[in-house]
C-alpha cells in the first residue's frame, strides 16, 4: 500500500533546506534554496536505489538512509549549540567529542533497525507521517511570505512630496550607499580599538560632511532603511497604511517601493539598484538592475545560503579541517563565501561607472561590508581561516575573531569608499549627491552608532548637523536641492522595532571634534 512505501527519506532530505529557507525567508531570495533542495532530493533518491542492493529490504534501506540524513543535517546545529552554550559548563562543542558520539549513534541506530524487521512496516508508516508533518510549517511560511510580498508590491499608492521642483536638464545623480553594520569613528576607537580617523579626514578633504555623533533610528537593517527611504518612523508609516486598509506586509514593501524612489522617478530620475542576495533589499524592477546572476561561473560556486546550510551539517567537519585549509591555499577548492565576495566586489567596481548613464540617476547600493562573513582582510585579501566565519550565521567563532575580522573589513571598505567617492565625483557633471551611511552598528551600546556622511555640493546651507539620524537624511536633501520645505523630525533611536522603548546616547555623550 502507498502508506507503507518508504518515501520518508525524500521528505527528510528536503526538510533541512526548506526549514533554513523559512527561517531566513526575510533575508534571502527563496530561489537560492532550489539548487540545494534538488541536490538533497537527488542524493536521497540515489540512496533509495543503491542501498536496497546491499541491505535486506527496501524498508530497511530507507530507515538506514533517514537515520544517516538525520545525523548528517543535525551535526552542525548541535556543534554550534554546544560551542556557544556549554552543557553543564563542559566544553563539548568539539569535533573530538561529537564525532565518536555520532558514530556510536549511527552504529546503535543501524543495529536497532536490523533487529526490528517485524516492525519496519509500522516504522515506515509512522516516519512517512512525521516527515510530511515536519514540512508543513516551512512550506506554509515560505508560501505565505511570497504571497504577501506579491500582494504588497502593487498595493501602495504614490505620495508626492510638497513643493518639489527641479530643472530636469541639471538634475544631479544621487547615490545612497549603505555600508551594512558600519559603526561610527568614536565607537570604533573606544569599543574595538581601531582608529579610522585618516579615512574620516580624507572624506572631509573631498568635501563630505561627517556627522560625528550620528545614530541609527533602528537596530536592524530593514527597519532602518525603510524609515530612511520613507522619511518617517515606522509607527507613523503603519498608521498611514492602516488608514488605507494595508498591513505589515506593505510596510516591508515600502523599502523597495519607497517615497524617495517614487518622487525621484516622478522628477525624471532612473533608479539604479544591485543584486544583494537579500530579497527585501533587491529592487529588481529598477530601471537599471545590476546583477551577477547571469554569470555562468556562479553555477560552480556556493551561494551564501548554501554555505550556511553546509555549516549546519556534518560538512562542518570538512570546513574546519586543516587539510581543507591547506588545499584552499593552493586554489584547489571553492571558497565557502566566494559568491558573497564576488558580489561585493562587483558592486564596488560598478558604482563609479553609474556616472556614465545618460540622464539623472538615483542609485541604491546595499553593501554587505563590514557585515559578516568576515572574509576581507584590511587590504582586500581573502581570509582562509574559518574562525572568521564558522560561528552562528556565518559569524566569527569568538570575540577575538570578531574584533580582528570586523576591523579588517572596516579598513578595507573605508579604503575602497574613499577611492569610489573620488571617482564618482570626478566623473559626474553636474556634481553628484552622495550619502554614505551605516544602517546600524555592531552590538551592545554601539549598535545604534553609525557612520553617516554627506556630499552636498553647491548648497550654501546644507541643514546637516552632528547627530542627524537617517530619518532626516532625505528630508535635508529634498529641502536643500528641491525646495521641499519639509520639517525635520526629532532624532530618536529605538530598540529594534519597538517604538515604545527609546534608546538614548550612552554616557559620556558623543563629543564633536574641535575644528
> Which residues are CB-contacts of 106 (< 8 A; sequence separation ≥ 6)?
67, 68, 71
Average pLDDT over residues 324-334: 45
pTM of the model: 0.73
Write down the pLDDT at residue 423.
Answer: 97
User: What is the rounded distance in angstroms from the CA atom of residue 251 to the CA atom of residue 257?
Assistant: 10
| CA-to-CA separations, 485 to 48, 160, 233, in angstroms, rounded | 69, 13, 19
Q: Please report which confidence band the pLDDT of residue 272 belongs to, taking 50, 70 and 90 as the band edges.
A: very high
Q: Please report which confidence band the pLDDT of residue 406 belongs to, taking 50, 70 and 90 as the band edges.
A: very high
Q: Is the peptide bond before 508 cis (omega within 30 degrees of 0)?
A: yes
Range name among 71-85, 87-101, 251-265, 397-411 with the lowest pLDDT average: 87-101
For residue 372, pLDDT over 60 is answered with yes
Q: Do 386 and 372 form a contact (C-beta atoms < 8 A)?
A: no
Write down the pLDDT at residue 167.
Answer: 56
Measured from the Cβ of residue 417, the count of other Cβ atoms closer than 10 Å reads 24
DSSP letters spanning 219-247 = SSHHHHHHHHHTTS-HHHHHHHHHHTT--
Phi, psi (degrees; rounded to nearest 5) at 498: -85, 100
Look at 106 and 376; give whichever has higher pLDDT: 376
Amino acid at each position: 500500500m502507498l502508506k507503507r512505501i518508504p518515501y520518508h527519506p525524500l521528505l527528510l532530505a528536503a526538510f533541512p533546506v526548506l526549514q533554513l529557507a523559512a527561517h531566513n525567508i526575510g533575508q534571502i531570495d527563496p530561489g537560492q534554496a532550489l539548487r540545494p533542495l534538488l541536490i538533497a532530493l537527488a542524493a536521497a533518491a540515489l540512496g533509495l536505489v543503491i542501498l536496497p542492493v546491499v541491505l535486506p529490504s527496501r524498508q530497511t534501506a530507507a530507515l538506514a538512509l533517514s537515520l544517516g540524513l538525520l545525523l548528517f543535517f543535525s551535526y552542525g546545529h548541535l556543534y554550534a549549540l554546544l560551542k556557544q552554550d556549554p552543557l553543564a559548563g563542559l566544553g563539548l562543542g568539539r569535533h573530538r567529542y561529537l564525532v565518536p558520539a555520532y558514530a556510536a549513534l549511527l552504529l546503535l541506530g543501524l543495529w536497532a533497525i536490523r533487529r526490528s524487521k517485524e516492525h519496519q512496516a509500522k516504522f515506515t508508516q509512522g516516519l512517512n507521517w512525521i516527515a510530511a508533518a515536519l514540512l508543513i510549517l516551512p512550506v506554509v511560511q515560505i508560501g505565505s511570505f511570497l504571497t504577501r510580498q506579491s500582494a504588497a508590491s502593487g498595493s501602495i499608492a504614490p505620495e508626492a512630496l510638497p513643493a518639489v521642483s527641479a530643472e530636469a536638464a541639471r538634475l544631479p545623480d544621487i547615490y545612497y550607499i549603505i555600508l551594512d553594520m558600519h559603526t561610527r569613528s568614536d565607537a570604533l576607537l573606544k569599543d574595538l580599538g581601531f582608529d579610522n580617523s585618516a579615512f574620516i579626514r580624507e572624506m572631509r578633504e573631498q568635501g563630505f560632511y561627517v556627522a560625528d555623533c550620528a545614530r541609527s533610528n533602528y537596530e536592524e537593517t530593514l527597519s532602518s532603511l525603510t524609515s530612511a527611504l520613507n522619511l518617517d518612523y515606522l509607527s507613523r508609516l503603519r498608521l498611514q497604511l492602516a488608514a488605507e486598509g494595508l498591513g505589515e506586509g506593505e510596510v516591508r514593501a515600502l523599502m523597495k517601493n519607497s517615497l524617495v524612489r517614487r518622487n525621484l522617478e516622478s522628477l525624471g530620475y532612473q533608479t539604479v539598484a544591485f543584486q544583494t542576495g537579500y530579497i527585501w533589499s533587491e529592487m529588481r524592477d529598477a530601471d537599471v538592475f545590476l546583477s551577477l546572476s547571469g554569470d555562468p561561473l556562479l553555477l560552480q560556486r556556493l551561494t551564501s545560503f548554501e554555505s550556511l546550510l553546509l555549516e549546519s551539517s556534518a560538512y562542518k567537519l570538512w570546513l574546519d579541517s586543516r587539510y581543507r585549509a591547506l588545499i584552499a591555499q593552493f586554489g584547489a577548492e571553492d571558497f565557502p563565501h566566494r559568491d558573497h565576495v564576488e558580489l561585493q566586489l562587483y558592486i564596488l567596481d560598478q558604482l563609479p561607472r553609474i556616472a556614465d548613464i545618460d540622464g539623472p540617476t538615483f542609485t541604491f547600493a546595499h553593501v554587505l561590508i563590514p557585515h559578516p562573513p568576515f572574509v576581507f582582510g584590511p587590504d582586500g585579501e581573502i581570509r582562509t581561516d574559518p574562525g572568521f566565519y564558522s560561528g552562528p550565521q556565518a559569524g566569527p567563532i569568538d570575540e577575538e575573531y570578531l574584533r580582528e575580522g570586523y576591523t579588517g573589513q572596516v579598513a578595507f571598505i573605508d579604503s575602497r569608499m574613499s577611492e569610489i567617492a573620488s571617482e564618482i565625483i570626478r566623473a559626474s557633471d553636474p556634481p553628484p549627491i552622495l550619502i554614505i551611511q551605516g544602517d546600524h552598528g555592531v552590538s551592545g551600546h554601539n549598535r545604534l552608532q553609525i557612520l553617516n556622511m554627506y556630499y552636498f555640493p553647491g548648497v550654501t546651507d546644507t541643514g546637516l548637523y552632528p547627530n542627524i539620524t537617517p530619518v532626516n537624511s532625505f528630508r535635508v536633501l529634498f529641502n536643500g536641492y528641491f525646495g521641499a520645505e519639509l520639517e525635520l523630525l526629532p532624532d530618536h533611536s529605538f530598540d529594534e522595532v519597538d517604538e515604545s522603548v527609546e534608546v538614548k546616547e550612552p554616557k559620556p555623550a558623543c563629543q564633536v571634534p574641535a575644528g
